[in-house]
Chain A
Amino acid sequence: MTKNEVLERLQPIFRDVFDDDTLEINESTDADDIEEWDSFNNINLVASIEKEFKINFTLDELQDLEDVGAMADLIVKKV
């Protein structure tokens, strides 16, 4: 899977988790850009991504995911 394909599949997940149908993500989107991106939604986001891509993140991977781009790179590596 390419990074762009991953980003395309991440888009609806973000919209669903943050309950915002107009949300547009790109590689540099991070927690500062989305007001609702708090600890609780972060957990939901991780759980939804793991389910969608059938992968399991480790704590090491989750402890400093800087932005959506870093997340997508990681997913490409794991699937």
Chain B
Amino acid sequence: MQLSSIIKNHLKDASLYDKNGNKIDKKKLYDEYKAIKNFLIKNIQPNKSVAIYFERDYKYVLAFLACMDIGITFIPLNREWPQKRIEQILSLSQAIIIEENDIDFTDTQESNIFYKNSILYIIFTSGSTGIPKGVKVKREGFLNFLLWCDNYFKDINSNDRMLLTTDFGFDIFLVDISLFLTKKLSLYISDFKNNVFKILYDIDKYQITVHSTVPYNYSMIMNEDVYPKANLSSLKHIMLGGARFPYNLYYAFKDKLPKCSIYNFYGPTEATIYCSIHKLNYNEDKELYKNNVTIGKPFFNNEFLIYEDELLIAGKQLMSEYLNNEAKTKEAIVYLNNKRYYKSGDIAFVNESGNYFIVGRKDDTIKTAGFRVNLSDIDSYILTLEYINNVATIAIDNQEGENDLIAYIIVNNKDNIKINKIKKDLREFMPAYQIPKIIKIVDEFPLNNAGKICKKTLKNNFLKDRK
């Protein structure tokens, strides 16, 4: 019952702001919360799951807290998603969809009914086959994450203010929820929609002290066209994760925000939000390796093992399984010495100080000109040229049974860079077979829902252009 009592105790005295920056009256908040709970208890059978289709605002937070409290498995949906994705998720999960309009907000009786379902929520990842893959996350896994947050962030407290910019539907919003529940900080729901100026405006207006997001947003904030407008002086903690921490962002933080605590989080959805962390201290020898920023060490009750170069994860935060997909579950979960591990697919390295580094993806290893190369390695090498800001290398089947390497790059100053010069510079430290056959300068990369570079789109675009 621990999770339920944490939620209930906090909500009676919570500081939650709606998307317009208005603080919700505490009694109103708790009444609305009880009304959502009552609706769920009356309408949802214990063995059913609920798909939350609320508007992006504070009531969304109340809805999944109500599900957590009762112990109803929930699936967060996003109204911005394509209709087809939502239909697929509903049909795969057989979940009951709920909206604000369904709820009778006058029904504010206190109820004490608990279903205690062991699966807390199901998050859908994109899945390589085009059909979303449902990750079933355990209540006990989330509780471990929550307790870890409470224990680790000792210098965050009820005076802090956090801006929630993450899409509901992407599990890292649960970082905000965990700090809201354990530290009792003020939580501001931002209706940030692809306008990074809105984040900056909110940070300044509400004097935000804590922000958790994907690295990409801070790459944009540190952009020379944006940064001069920003006032980030209120920020004390910036927590980044969900994608690779860019090397040049490391130096941007070192230069521009040396007093702010910057964290690099790591973890697949299958290991409940995040399962390792590193707080930057700008000790380059210890926290950088081949242009990768360390992901630090696993949280308590989580364990890392490097097996055949791949990072395996064990411990309390491991998912139960993929929804209705035994084959995929069997591929992903292995037993070694009777211990259950999740195969992350990430190629990892651990240094003498016990810091872990992700240096590539297992499925990024391809053959070209008879050699095995890892595409992430190539990216790391190319990034050592200081005029290159970001890179994504893909492999394209050249129809002769081999792969050609194609690198898409973003450079500091397009006008002064010639492809031949880049190739010449790369030849100084890379063997010929590792140098991409084609290098294309682009302004930006296609991103997926999680804010990561979508190499699949790059590949499809390349193939389209080739025809």
The answer to whether B201 touches A63 (Cβ under 8 A) is yes
Assuming A38-B447, A59-B204, is B223 touching A43 (CB within 8 A)? yes
- From the candidates B201, B217, B225, B444, name the one contacting A59 in the complex (CB within 8 A): B201
- A43 contact set on B, CB distance < 8 A: 196, 220, 223, 225-226
The residue of chain A having its C-beta at the shortest distance from the C-beta of B217 within the complex is A39
Determine whether the beta carbon of A42 is less than 8 Å from that of B225.
Answer: no
Cβ–Cβ contact B220 & A39, under 8 A? yes
Q: How far is B444's CA from A60's CA once the two chains are assembled, in angstroms? A: 26
**Across chains A and B, which 9 residue pairs bring their CB atoms closest together, nearest first?**
A62-B197, A63-B201, A47-B225, A59-B201, A40-B444, A39-B194, A63-B198, A39-B196, A38-B194
CB distance from B137 to the nearest CB of A (A): 28
Q: Would you give the 0/1 interface string for A16-53, flagging 1 where the beta carbon is closer than 8 Å to chain B?
A: 00010000000000010000011111111011000000
Distance between Cα atoms of A62 and B199 in the complex (Å)? 11
Closest CB in chain A relative to B460 CB, distance in Å: 15
List 19 extra interface pairs beyond A39-B195, A62-B201, A63-B202, CB under 8 A.
A31-B193, A38-B444, A39-B220, A40-B220, A42-B195, A43-B196, A43-B220, A43-B223, A43-B225, A47-B225, A59-B201, A59-B204, A59-B229, A62-B198, A63-B195, A63-B197, A63-B200, A63-B201, A64-B195
Listed by A's residue number, 12 A-B pairs whose Cβ atoms lie within 8 Å are A38-B194, A39-B217, A43-B196, A43-B223, A43-B225, A59-B197, A59-B229, A59-B230, A63-B195, A63-B197, A64-B195, A65-B195
Partner of B198, one of A41, A58, A64: A64
How many interface residues does B have (CB within 8 Å)? Answer: 20
CB distance from A54 to the nearest CB of B (A): 15
Which chain A residues lie closer than 8 Å to B196 at the CB level?
A: 39, 42-43
Q: Chain A: how many interface residues by the 8 Å CB criterion?
A: 20
Cβ of B363 under 8 Å from chain A: no
Contacts of A47 in B (CB 8 A): 225
B331 at the interface (CB under 8 A from A): no
A40 to B193, CA, bound (A): 12
Asked if A62 contacts B195 (CB within 8 A), the reply is yes
In the bound complex, CA of A70 to CA of B217 (Å): 25
**Min C-beta distance of B448 to chain A, whole Å:** 12
Q: Does B443 contact A (CB under 8 A)?
A: yes
| Closest A residue to B230 using CB positions | A59
B214-231 near A? 1/0 per residue, CB < 8 Å = 000100100101100110
Asked if B200 and A59 sit within 8 Å, CB to CB, the answer is yes
Are the C-beta atoms of A44 and B443 separated by less than 8 Å?
A: yes
**A75 → chain B closest CB, angstroms:** 16
Contacts of A19 in B (CB 8 A): 443
Chain B residues near A57 (CB, 8 Å)?
229
